[in-house]
Structures are given as C-alpha cells and as structure tokens.
Structure 1
Amino acid sequence: MAHAAAAALALLVFFCAQARDAAVHVVDAAATLSQGQSLGATDKLVSAGGTFELAFFTPTGGDPSRRYLGVMYAQSTEQTVPWVANRDVPVSAGSAYSATVTAAGELQVLEGDRVVWRTDNSATTTSPGTAGGEQAANVTLTVLDTGNLQLAAGDGGPVIWQSFDHPADTFLPGMSITLDRRGGGAVRRTLFTSWRSPADPGTGDFTLGQDPLGSAQLYIWQTTGGQNTTYWRSGQWANTNFVGVPWRSLYVYGFKLNGDPNNGSGVMSYVFNTYNSSEYRFMLHSNGTETCYMLLATGDWETVWSQPTIPCQAYNMCGANAQCAAAADGGQAVCTCLTGFEPRNVSEYSNGNWTQGCVRSSPLPCGGEPNVSGAGAGAGVGVGFADLPGVKLPNFAAWGSTVGDAAACEQSCLGNCSCGAYSYSTGTGCLTWGQDLLDIYRFPDGEGYDLQIKVPAYLLETGSKRRRWTTVVVAVVVAVAVLAGCGLLLWKCRRRIKEKLGIVVGSEETKATQPSLLPLREARQDFSGPKQTDQEEAEGGKKFELPIFSLETVAAATGDFSADNKLGEGGFGHVYKGRLPGAEEVAVKRLSRGSVQGMEEFKNEVILIAKLQHRNLVKLLGCCIQGEEKILVYEYMPNKSLDGFLFDPARRGLLDWKTRFHIIEGIARGLLYLHRDSRLRVVHRDLKASNILLDHDMIPKISDFGMARIFGGDQNQVNTNRVVGTLGYMSPEYAMEGLFSVRSDVYSFGILILEIVSGQKNSSFHHMEGSLNIVGYAWQLWNADRGERLIDPAILPACSVREALRCVHMALLCVQDHACDRPDIPYVVMALGSDSSVLPMPKPPTFTLQCTSSSDRDGIFPDKVDESYSACDLTVTMLHGR
C-alpha cells in the first residue's frame, strides 16, 4: 500500500513537472513570445532573418553560476551581446529561471517566483475598461533583424516598449543618440553604459551620450568615486564626420545628425542607418574605448576605428592652451604650449605635469590700433592669427550661423576682443573660441582641421623670420646631402654608366639596330611597381618587375599593327591580336596619340594590374614604352568582351542563363578580391560590359584598370575633382559630387547585372515607358510584380525565372541612390551563392542620368542593331564634380 502511494505520488510529481515545462517553454527558435508564454534556460527567440536571437547566456570567461537575458548576434563566430536585460541582477544557473510576457503586458525575468527585472510598461498596455493594469491587450515580444527587442500591443499594434530606447553598451543601426531639450527643464538624453568588465555585463564606469550643453558633440564620461569626469569627446560634427575622427567619414555608413544645435529647446539626434543592420556596430568598452566594428562574411568582427587608444586622444591631456602630439612611437603624449602662450607653472611643466596648461605670454591688444592678420603680417601693432593646421578643434566653440566664408569668420573674431581663436571649413562653418582653448590634439598625418589662434602681431613677424632662416638652413643641408648621394651613386655605377653610354653614343649601326634599349631600361625602372616593405619582400621573394617588350617585337607579333588583327577600340586606343615568338597568343592594347587618356592612366594600369592576380581579373604580360608609343600586352581572350555577346541580337542567344549567372558570380568574385581580399584594396571606377573579357571557357575577367584607385587601409570614401568613368554606370554621388568608394563599383555592378539579365544596354531604355535608363524600367516592372518581362527573350524559355528575378532584386539593391543603402560585395557574393537568405526591399530610384539616344525606341528588343546605340557609351575622363 505504501509502495502504491509512493508510486502514485511520483507519477503526480512527474505530470506536474511536465505540465510546468509545457507552460514555461516555447518552441526553440520561435520568432515571437506571446502573453502567458515563457522563455526557459535553453529556449531562444530568433529574428525573422536569423540575424539576432534572444536567450539566456553566461558571458565568455564569466562566472558560470550567473545567467543573463540578452540579445545576441546569431551569425557571429564569437559571443557578441549588444543588449542585456538583467545586467545588474543575474539569475542563478542552479535556479528555476525564465523570461515571460505577463498578463499586464510586461516582460519579466523571473527566478522562481521572484521578479528580478521588468520592463515596467504596464501603464501603457492596460486595456480600455480595466483598472490597475490587471489586464492588457494582446501583447507579443519580438526580436527584430535590427537587434531591437519590441513589445507590441495587438496584431500589428503600436510598440509599447523597445530595447532601443533603453540601450546597454552598443549603438546599432536604427538606434539614435538623442538630446531632448524641450520643456525648459532637465534635458533627457540617450545614454550608453559600458560593461563592468568583458566578462561582467553589470553597469560599468563609462557612459556615452550627447553633450548636455547642446554642442552636438558625443562625450564619454568616467565615474570615479561617485564623480563624473570627461574622458573623451568626439569633436564637432562636420556634416560627414567628427572633427576628432577626421579620417573616417561616418556619413557613408548612414550616420548623420538630425536637429539644429542652435535651437536650445529642440531635439537633436544622431541616427545610424545602414543597408544591413548587422553589418556595423559601435561599442563602448569597459576601459572607456569606443570602437566601430564591421561584421565580415566569415562571421568575424573587423575594427574600423577606435578612440581613445593613445593618451593624446583622451580629453584635455595637456591642459588649457596647449596641444598634444603623440611621440614617434605613437604612445607617449608630447605637450607644447600654443603660439603666444607659456606654461602656467614652469616647475610642474619640467616634471611632465601639464594639467595646469598654459597662459598667454603677453596680453592681446584690443581697440585703438589697427589689426593685422595673416601668417606673414606684422607691423608691430595690433593682432594677427597664427595657423595651427591638422588638429582636433578645441572644446566650447561658438558657432557663427550668419558667417558665410573664411574671411568673414576672421573679421568676426578680429572684431571681438573676447575671441581667442577661430576656424572655418565647409563642414563646420565658422567656429570661434574664447580665451582658453581646451583639448587640442595634433594629428600625425596632416588630417584634421586648421585652427587660427589670435596672437600679438609681433609674434608673427618673429616667427616668420625664424621660419625663413630655418627654411634656408634646411634647404642647404638637403642640397648637400643630395649632391653627396648622387656622387656616391655615380661612382658605384660607373661601369654600368659606361656600358650604357657605349650603346647610346656608339656607332650608327648600333643606334639603328637598338634604338629602344635605353628607354626600355628606364621604363623598367619607372614601372617596377610600388615599393615593398621588408616583410613583403621576404614573403614574395624578389621585388616585382614587369617584363618589357621592344617595339619591334610587338609590331612583329601584330603584323605591324595590321587592321586584320584589330580586335576593337575604346577610349584608350586600339586593341590587336598578336602572337609572340613563343607562339603565345596575346592582346596588344596600343595607346592612341589622340587619346584623352595618357601616361597617368597607362602607368596606373601597369602598376595595379600587374600586382593583382585573380582568376576573374585579366592578366597583364608586359608593356612597351618607346618614344610616344605606350603599349600593354595582355593574355588573349578568344571570346573578346561581354558586350560583343549581350548587345548583338545574332549572338546573345549563345549566352544561356546558366552562363550568364556564372558570369555575374565571376564578376562579383573579382570585385570581392579588389575590394576586400587583395592587399591593395582597389576601386575600379569604370566597370562596364566592354571591360569584362571572356576566356575560352566563358570565365569573366575584369579589365582596364587605367582609372582605378588604391584605397588606404582606413579609407572608405574619397573625393575627386576629376570624375572618370562611363555615363550610365556612374553612381549618383560620384557623377554629381565626385565622391567614390567601393560602393560606387557596387552601383556599376548592379547596372551590369540588369544588362546581363535583359541582354540590353543601360541606355537603350531611354524614354521607355517614362524611364531614362534600365534602372527606372527594371524598378517599374519589379515593383509591379512583372519582373520576368525584363528577362532576355532569347533565353527565357530555358531560364530559371526565380534565379533571374533574384538577380534583378540584387541589382536593384546595388543601384540604390545612397551609397550607405547599397550592399557591399561580400554580402552580394554570399546572397548570390545562396537562395535561402531573404533579401531586403530596395528603395525606389530617384536619380538617373539623361542620355541622348541616337534614335527613338519603339520596343524593348529592336530588330535593328543600330537602334541600340547611345551617347551614354562615352567614357568620361575630365568631368568635374562639385
């Protein structure tokens, strides 16, 4: 009897436990959590695109007995947690803990029956007619692909609480850093707080937010002993970047300021919107460092920029009226007083303590005497301005909203006795400062902004004389050193010089038989490529050297540049088929004497393409320079260029859909190598169908690097006054503003995809149903769910319509107006290789380049070849952007 009772009791306990588990746990990897449902120890919510997940976790390296509820990246190779709910009240790993959406519409973290954390939003979720928050509307909890955790009332109802309004240590796309000064009382701010340590998500010592005084700067404050001190500031916002981070254009990531700093009762917000919400994040580390990360296709995080990482980047390291410059090793801070200032406390200064800063060595005259300005000015009276270039501008600036140029800004400061300095740039406008200048950092590489410091005029005169003498002395020393070096070089190379002179000034017979020997040797030296580091030489062996062909060899290979061997022509000149003495077939590209392109493009291509090796880039075999002849020798592509197939009605049927798709993938892989995988990081700038060559197996090869540009390791966008490329393929920001980046190539690639799918030129859609080009027409069809009409009729019967429409979808993402909205090439390659990922919705195009068609078009696919030509085939090499 006792055994039976015990068995019954055990069975009852088992069923109760099962019932409890059924009530607590939800389906693993669900998208939402409804009222009455709970998230258990091993459960998780996953966003619709699989980017983020909500689950309990223990921080890497943390106490395994402590558990936290957090939003995490699902695709990162390392644990990355941008938001934590119960960061200061962990639950015990050995307890019965869960997260639940209550009947009152709150999200709560429970440990047993104890509520350890809650959203406390019941007042906003109470249903009409109820009292005390006992019952709420149908509330669901969802984790979005942006990383935002939302509680929403009803089916598609309003958001009643979201984690983006209660950030932790991470700034994600879609969030904002807000300063709300409405109401006249205490300001309301969005604040980010660091973790206590990398293994403890508890509230740390560092906080990031906007300057409460409304200067639109970002600050990091450190809390020590209950006191807040300024640890770092970003500097003023300059339209595309912060003056404290001048080399990084945050605008290309979708980072911008909304609101007017001059409106003392308004709202200012820094917003952060990128194409892919999981691609970038800003994180405030437990040591006070703010870091921008980029998620790579491998799932690893790459550091884009980080501050402060050296002492000079910390706030006001050298005190007032002094500048901080990093020592040669990049570490130790070197403090110096500004022009016109001296140490406030000499004894402290000698001990390396600069906290007291500097004071003016003599007072500024004001009124009575005429003012003198300019670095070389000085009449012994009045004041002038000493130029301090390449710095992080001081704190506490006053913005002159009515000042329109640098001269007016200077006069504004001259006319104000309280003004101690000014700065003017197109990004910041006119900024002026009072007598004390705080937190000035001198950037090591000439980046930053110019600061004009008001000083007595006699200091400028003395400084000018001193600079002139210094210049003379330096020039003499340099000249002596150069002459000595040249003499030593000539002495060491005397035998080689004699041999060379013997060839040049020898017999007439020698001159006749070897006319190009000396120029070729000089060319070999000129085009030996970029200088390599010791490490690169150790890894790559001998220094790069491109083979040089004689003009006689090239002429013989091409039948003296016979018209029968001519393959085509372009903005560079003519291309010929040739055969070298070893029977190797080559393509010879000869610069035309009347070409608008010249030595710069020629040299650029020689240096670039010879250093880049990839199966989807054309291979450069050598070059020839003799007199006015500039010739490049490439591997021969038997199928010539892609446009010869796509835009020829008689041949485009030879490219079936499978081949076209492989060409699209090959071009994408070539761009991936140029943008990410090669050590040079190249932007092509003239990607188009005629620059895609096809080998015997129809493998695409990107060619023509004469207009390409190398980006530095920390560059993402460059401005140029010399816009080059082909109309119709240029991105809007490049064609109009001269701004180019890797996403300019992405735009051109999107145009290429549309041309490959349709078999038509970009410009052949002129005036087609109100569209200026293929982008507008493709958008109209795709948006109306008629995208299959864009597919080339020559391949439509055997085409994978689903795959083609996915390519059209990707192309429309690539050709979006704003660079920050376009995907990068790693994402494109990944998405093209997998049809399981969900592509986001593209934005409708609003910018198109008007092209002049040679004839009006009556249909999409003409019967006559000549009707497809357009002025947009023209390559532009001297278009000046604003």
Structure 2
Amino acid sequence: MNNKESLVIFSLFLPFLAFVVASSDDTLQQGAILTSSSYLVSAKKVFTLGFFSPPYSKENYLGIWYTNDSQSHPVWVGNRNTPIHNNSGVLAIDNTGNMIITHNGGDTIELYTTQTRDNKTATLLDSGNFVVREVNSNGTTGHVLWQSFDYPTDTLLPGMKLGVSHRTGRNWSLTSWLAEGVPAPGAFTLDWDSRRGRLIVRRRGVIYWTSGVLKDKAFEFIGKSDPRNVVYDYINVTSEEEEYFSYSLIKDSRCTPEGRKAISGWMLDYNGQINDQDRPPIARVDLCYGYKTRGSGGVYEGCELWEQPTCRNSNQKFDLRSGDFGNIDEESSFYDGNSSLGFSDCRANCWNNCDCVGFRNDGDTGCLYWRGRLKFYQDNSDVSRAQYVLISESSNKRWERYKWVVTGVVSASFVLLLGLFCYLRRKFKQGQERDLFDLMTLEGQMNTDELENDGNKGGHDLKVFSFACITAATNSFSSENKLGEGGFGPVYKGKLPEGREIAVKRLSQRSGQGLVEFKNELILISKLQHKNLVKLLGCCVHGAERILIYEYMPNRSLDFFLFDQTKREQLTWERRFHIIEGIAQGLLYLHKYSRLKVIHRDLKSSNILLDEDMSPKISDFGMARIFEHNVSEANTNRVVGTYGYMAPEYAMEGFFSIKSDVYSFGVLMLEILSGRKNSSFYHVDRPFNLVGYVWELWKKDAALELMDPILSGSCIEQQLLRCIQIGLLCVEDRALDRPTMSDVISMSTNDSMTLPTPTKPAFVTSSGVDESDSGRQPEIYSVNGISITAMHAR
C-alpha cells in the first residue's frame, strides 16, 4: 500500500478517531489523534507538543516548546524538512504501531516505523523528550522504542547528548535553522569532539569556533568569569558503547525538596550564535571572521583560523547601514533566490567574491548582492532600506585626523546653545520644557522628525509612537486604566492594536522629576537588556507630552504585595528568595556585565516590578548614573533617592558608587524578609528604623524574630539567618566593608561559604518620620541642592 492509499484510508476514519482522546494530557494513545488545535502537555506542565507556525511563515510544523513561554523558539521540530502548507496536520499512532503525520495535499510523514503490531503510546516527558513505548498486556509501558532526543534539531536540552553511539552508529549533533522563520537545516552545526574533549561549531563544514578543552568542569572559552554560567554541570562520557557530551542544570533546592524549576536550552541560531534562554550568550560564533584568534577574555575567544580571499583583509567588514547604492545598472545587482541560502551564506558568498560590495537578506532565504565600483549613500530616515555594506576601518583615518577639531567645534557650539537656553529659560518660563527638548535635539540625542511614526524605530533603536496611538491604547488616559502614580507622573495600562499590553508612564507637569530624568531613562534603559530589568518598548513626544512605554507587569510592584496584610500571603519563602536572587542578578548586570556601568541610585520596593511569574524586574532609571568601567565612585551636589534606602556616604557627602546600590539592596532585602517597611518602626524610648531594629535583634542573638510571621514554619531557620546576615553586611557603615553584588550572589547560593561578622550598620535610628497619614503621596524635599524622596504608606 503506497502513501497516498494510506492517507485516503486514514482520512475515512478521521471523523471517528476525532472522538478518541489520550488517557492523559501528556500521552498520545494508539488510535488517538493530535490536530493543529490540540496539544500534549508534560506531567508537570514544563513542555508542550503541538503544531506551530514560525515567525513570518505560513508553514506548519510539529514542535516542542516551553509551556510558560509559547512565543519562545521551539526546542524540537519533527518535520523540519517537510513543512505542512496548511493547518491540516494530524499526529497519530496508526493501527500498525507507526507514528505518522498526515495532512491534506501531501505524503504521509513518518516519524517512527515498526515491524511489530504491538500496542504503543507516545508520551511527552518533563525533560522535553518525546518517547514511544510499547504497552504490555497488563497495561504497563515497556522500554523506549523511539525518542526525540535521538533526533535533535537546533536545541540541546539538559540530558540530551552530543556525540556518537557505537552500538547503533547514530550521531547526535545540532543543525541551525536556515533562517529565523525557516526550520529547514541551515549552515551551522554543533558537534562534540570526543578525541579532544571540546565542542565544535562548523559553517558548511568549516570549523568556525571551538569551546576549548573541557577541564576541571569548565570549558576554556565558555564564560569562565561569568558567575551566571555556574548553573551548568557538564557531563563527558566515553565508553565502548558511546562517546558523548551532555549537561544538566544545578538545581536550586532552597525551601522545597524539589526546588524551583529552572529552564534551559542551548539553541544554535541561524547566525551561528549559541544562546540559552535569558542567560548571556554561550558563544558569539557570529563574530568569528577567521583572520586571527582574538585576545583572551573577550567574546571572540575560540574563533578558528581559515583561509581567506586574497582581496580581503582584517580591516574590512560588513556593516548594516540604511540607504542605497548609486549608479546601479543590470550588472551591478544580482538576486539569487536559492531557497537553501540563509544570512550566513549571503555574507560568506559576498565576502568570497572580490567584486561584491554589499548584500541583503531579509531574515528569510535568498540573497541580493551588489557588485562593482559602487558608492553607497547613507540615509537614516528609512531603516527599511538597510543592507550590509563592505567598509574598511582604515577609511576612517581622515575622521581620526580631524575628530579633535570637530569635537572642539561641537563643544563650543554646545556651550553657546546652553547659554542661549538659559537666557530663554529666564525669559520664557512657560516654554521651559520645549526649550529643553530642543536642546536635546541639538545634542543629537533625539530626532523630533522621527517621533510621530507608530512603531518605527527612532534614536537608540527604540520604537516611537504617535500621541494618537497612545491615547487610543489607554482609552484617553482614563482613570479606569490608571495603575498608580510616582515621582515621574501617572502610569496607565494600555493595549496596542495588535493586542500587546503595555504600561504607559506620562510625565506630569507637577512632577518633581523632569525632562533630564526623562532623557536619562530613555537613553540609558534602551541600552540595557536583562531578564531582571524592565523592558522599555518605546517613547512618545508630542508637544509638551513626554511619555515612556514599557512592557506591562501584571503583578504591579513589590510593595503592592509586601506591605499589604492580605496580599503578602502570596509571597512565600520560595518566591521571596527568588525575588531577592533576581534583584541581585539585575544589579550585578548593571554594575559589571552591561555595556554601561550603571548606578541605579533609587532602588526600593516600589521600583521592583513583578511579572506574571512573580519574577522581579528593576525599573525607574531616571535617577541612574553611568560610570566608565574603570571608575569606582563619583561625587554629586544633587543627592537624589528615597529616604531610608540611601547609603550614608551618599546622603551626607554626595559620594556614590556601586556600594551605594548595595546598601539600598541590603535595606530592601531586610524588608522582604520581615514584610515591614524600613521606616515603620517606633520604640517607646527612641525611634528605630528597620536596619536599627535588625541590628538590635542580631546583637541579642534573636534575629529570627525579624521573620515575617506568614513565613513561620515554611523555611529552614539557618537559611533565614544567613539571609539576614547578608542583609546586615550590605548596610555596613563603611562602603569598603560592604560586599559587591557578585559577593552577595556567591554568599546566598553557596551555603558552605563562611560569612563575615557584621558590624554596626549606618543609620540605626530613624528621624521619627510619622507614617500615620496613609493617604499621602511621595514628597520631594530639597535643601542646599539635596533632593530626597520620602515615601509614605498608601
């Protein structure tokens, strides 16, 4: 019987099979079907299996993805070589025991075939493995006959293998997608070199990158200095039957026996980069060009040498630019519509052709090339015309020669403009905000011509929205959509036309903050990308309106739960520790691992937002300052921040550094452990703040009394005491005595590490702030240039 006959017979029984369902949500029984509108979900709901369409594609594929992130990249694709051209796909185990995909208009796709007619089932496991087992006569399942882990696509999950089975002759390796929306095999492969004990990435067979040798549980070129990568436990097995590499995640087992479920998946993308969820990239293979091995410690580590065209040199590279080539004729441009060509193929083909001066690939297949002696005309007004242009870094030497002269002219012009601004400010107070924004435009920080186009990208790769779009999204800033109000102004919930929910922060005319803070946050946060930092989606500038648009956080801010007698019950010990850990990771990124060294300066519970999983995201960067990475501290005559969270050297002398944020983190950590505000303590003899209260308990060896009563009986006492001790270390009086955020993470994750003994912290007594007025809003106090925000209970 051929495939077409099987499809006809199977379709006759389809109406009857539609009523047959699996016995559980994670298992497909023989005779049951899975359609494009149904799914299998693993027992603990970690993974989901079903049909999906990639971005920018109408094709359908059978895939597996993380249940809590349905928009993420699938970890496995069953029919990557044979896409379904409609949503008619049906997965089933037929009456002969074969697992097949049938669909209208195409041949049957066989995932598993067998010669036996024994009853079989297919189960999606919490490991992400999809397995076929035989069913015994007593109803129990037997050994595994087939598993998706033996057929990896572009993602390596914990427990999967890279290597070879000498018993079956099977090779386990990853192959990238061809393009972002095309799961077909692409240019890059990831293999395990068992002879030398290393990982290898090849592009069309040529070695581009290696991990270096696996030694002492670490690879030579995979993030040795990054403490966020200690979550991996590498496994290297060599036996007569098989040689392979695998990895697992080191579980976080605090408070509960099973621990908090972490997710991971090493994905080899179509550019050759190896990513793992929200963690830092494991390998930047896309930055390898093959001329020389780059210096140690950088993202170029592990790049291999290979032969280059004689017409190319190490000063040349392709740069993505917006504009057009001039003087184009029929021979100057050439389009190759080969469906097997992805982005890396376009780049390699153009690089190897000495006449090629540029190329374009729109994230799909096929390449457009430009050849000959063409001149490129830059035009930043239309990013849709961006293409990769061959440039020579040496061509910038003329600019190097004159840059100091240009810098001097620009600086002088800036001084003149600043003087003009000051004059206009005194003369036209009503036009203050307009003038400042004009100054921002003249500084080149923002282009007002770009600020009226919905969804188009403006300065710093941010989307800019029209005021009409934001007005419609927030129902004209209605009170029903208002989420709250801070020092910047009111915050509203909105929904974009495509259905995405957003948070809209609107600068108030009465705001204690102003356009300087607006500009600071707009420019700064657009450069920062981390899972524990709130994501800025874009901005809107319209007349006097200054608006920031963020991702929407459904669980609002930490203080909304922490200081509410009923809602705080949702903050279990496991969630509180998860929140503390997330804030620490976000601060570590700001202080050490971002492109900019950032001091937040206003870390507090109301500036910690919580997503749908109660994961924390640091927000409100209006007060933040940028440091050079070799600068340790700075001084300011304008102290900004919130009462009770500011470090003593900052509040009293204006000195701030990363240790200032550490102090604020310590106060916040103690608030999370106790469920009480820093300024909510009052003693009959003398006033205390939270820090002073904790210190008194610590001295009396009664620190456990700090614990939020709601947590009673849910935690191991030693873990809570360790957290309290870390919090006290963070609020030490001298900045030098406080740990760094890297130290904090090490101390909180390594229970065997001996902690220093805390000394008397700063500000152990409060100034007697009365918080009885529960309806008061935040106030700004300014004395001799010092600005302090005092937050009162709501």
TM (normalized to structure 2)?
A: 0.42
- More relative contact order, 1 or 2 (CA 8 Å, 6+ apart): 1
TM (normalized to structure 1)?
A: 0.38
